[in-house]
Amino acid sequence: MVTSKNLYFDKYQELTALFRAGLDGDAVSYNCFLQAVTPIMRRIACRKLSPTDAEDTLQEILISIHKARHTYDGKRPIMPWLLAIAQFRINDALRKAYAASSREMIDIHELAEVLSDVTETGSSSESVNVLLENIPEREQRILTMMHVEGYTAEETGLKLGMKASAVKVAAHRAVKKIREKF
Amino acid sequence: MSISDLITSLSQESPRPSLKPPGYFAARLGTVLAAYGIGIQFFLQLRTDLLVQFSRPMFTLEILLLILLTVFSATAALLVMYPDVYQKPRLLKAPYIVFVALGAFMLGQLLLPHDTRMVILPLDDGQAMECTICIASVALLPSALILALQLKGASIHPWRAGSFAILTATGIGCLTLRLSEANDSLLHLVVWHYIPTLFFAALGAFIGRLVLRW
């Protein structure tokens, strides 16, 4: 009878075998194991991080798997072990990203170049709308609230039901997109 | 460096022997800690009314909880060396549960009628700060030993690993001191034994984060 447990072991048996052979000194098997693991880890990283960050984190994950290889003895399912390491490194990357974004300040003068004269004339208001029209609606709302209506990140977060750090990240991304376009 | 270059360079490194299973470390660590605890107890000496105290169920239960706290913390400290916690994540909750049970048990005793077999010294007459210092001193060596052992692994919970290591060590300190100090004042025990234990565990979390990087 095929149970879900059997299926699990069948699915990752090859991966475990390659890793165990690698632990015993077979460099080719170990190389194959890392090659096989890479797309799985990439998929997991891409789910939580931007493509650039995901590639960097993927490298970190592979190095961590390599560094922690002695903690796996091949006697227990391999996927929980791999996923635990991947999750650890992804959390690290997220923590770094949030810390960096909370330290990073958006220079008001820099922003003024992008959103110049927002309140002066009707035509400049239209130009702001042009600037904002190619970014997602939520980011438009955040930029408008923070830089036109004068709300702080905390207040914007409260109004939109987001964390202040998430608001700052979204605002930074939006400005980046506008800068790239113009 | 591209991913394929990284994989090539990683796979060319020499293999590393596998870490032994937690049972192996548990047996060795258990033996060392038991010997250390007995040695410390020999040095501190047992309280003269120990047999009388053991006839008191509350004292026996407290000692039992302290033993459980030490054993579960040591188990958790060893399991957390493995990134996947050796696939026994539930055991990491055990030290917290025992500690909460110990706290509730101590506070619960305040509601019970006074037992005449209890030796109660006034709060300022007891050794007070000396007790905390004694627990810390006893815990120093086992903490270093467990943290050194944890460095062999690859913990993805460095905070918890550090706190479990220190909790194990302070558990030994509390246990040996409880068996030697003739003072059953609940307030003294809570203020100078168990609250500092909580602080030491928090300090351990901080140390774990600093030390257990890989």
* Residue A74 to residue B168: CA distance in whole angstroms: 29
What pLDDT is stored for residue A7 in this prediction?
A: 46
Percentage of residues of chain B with pLDDT beyond 70: 98
Residue A147, min C-alpha distance to chain B (Å): 39
Nearest CA in chain B to A70: B18
The shortest CB-CB distance from A34 to any of B10, B18, B85 is to B10
* Residue A168 to residue A100: CA distance in whole angstroms: 11
The yes-or-no verdict on residue B144 having pLDDT over 60 is yes
**Interface probe, candidates B4, B9, B10, B86, chain A, greatest A C-beta count within 10 A:** B10
Q: What is the CATH number of domain A108-181?
A: 1.10.10.10
Give CB contacts under 8 A, 24+ apart, made by B51-60. Answer: B52/B117, B53/B117, B53/B184, B55/B117, B56/B115, B56/B117, B56/B118, B58/B109, B58/B112, B58/B115, B59/B184
Residue range B129-149: average pLDDT? Answer: 95
What pLDDT is stored for residue B124 in this prediction?
A: 65
Which has the minimum average pLDDT: A119-123, A169-173, B46-50, B61-65?
A119-123
**A123 against A73, higher pLDDT:** A73
Predicted confidence (pLDDT) per residue in A80-97, tens digit? 999 999 999 999 999 888
What pLDDT is stored for residue A107 in this prediction?
A: 66
Predicted confidence (pLDDT) per residue in B51-60, tens digit? 999 999 999 9
Nearest CA in chain A to B156: A88
* Residue B193 to residue B200: CA distance in whole angstroms: 11
* Residue A116 to residue B70: CA distance in whole angstroms: 65
Pairwise CB contact (< 8 Å): A70 & B17? yes
Q: CATH topology for A4-103?
A: Rna Polymerase Sigma Factor; Chain: A (1.10.1740)
The yes-or-no verdict on residue B6 having pLDDT over 60 is yes
Residue range A57-70: average pLDDT? Answer: 94
Which has the minimum average pLDDT: A33-42, A98-107, B167-176?
A98-107
Average pLDDT of chain A to the nearest whole number: 81
Closest CA to A98 of A44, A176, A177, A168: A168
Predicted confidence (pLDDT) per residue in B73-88, tens digit? 999 999 999 999 999 9
**DSSP for chain B, written as a single string:** --HHHHHHHHHTSPP-PPPPPHHHHHHHHHHHHHHHHHHHHHHH---TTHHHHHTSHHHHHHHHHHHHHHHHHHHHHHHTTSTTGGG-GGGGTHHHHHHHHHHHHHHHHTTSPPPTT-----TTTS-THHHHHHHHHHHHHHHHHHHHHHTTS--S-HHHHHHHHHHHHHHHHHHHHHHH-----HHHIIIIIIHHHHHHHHHHHHHHHHH---
| Backbone CA torsion sign across A6, A8, A14, A20 | negative
The yes-or-no verdict on residue A114 having pLDDT over 70 is no
Pairwise CB contact (< 8 Å): B81 & A71? yes
Cβ-based contacts of B10 with chain A (< 8 Å): 30, 34, 62-63, 66
* Residue A112 to residue A127: CA distance in whole angstroms: 13
Say whether residue B23 is in contact with chain A using an 8 A CB cutoff: no
Residue extents of the structural domains in chain A:
4-103, 108-181
Predicted confidence (pLDDT) per residue in B76-129, tens digit? 999 999 999 999 999 999 999 999 999 999 999 988 887 888 888 776 655 688
Q: At B122, phi and psi to the nearest 5?
A: -60, 150
Residue range A123-146: average pLDDT? Answer: 75
> Could you identify the residue written with the tokens 């548990």?
B26
* Residue B50 to residue B60: CA distance in whole angstroms: 10
Query: What confidence tier does A117 reach under pLDDT thresholds 50, 70, 90?
Result: low
Q: What's the ipTM?
A: 0.84
Residue range A131-160: average pLDDT? Answer: 82
What pLDDT is stored for residue B30 in this prediction?
A: 96
Say whether residue B18 is in contact with chain A using an 8 A CB cutoff: yes
Say whether residue B10 is in contact with chain A using an 8 A CB cutoff: yes
Say whether residue B142 is in contact with chain A using an 8 A CB cutoff: no
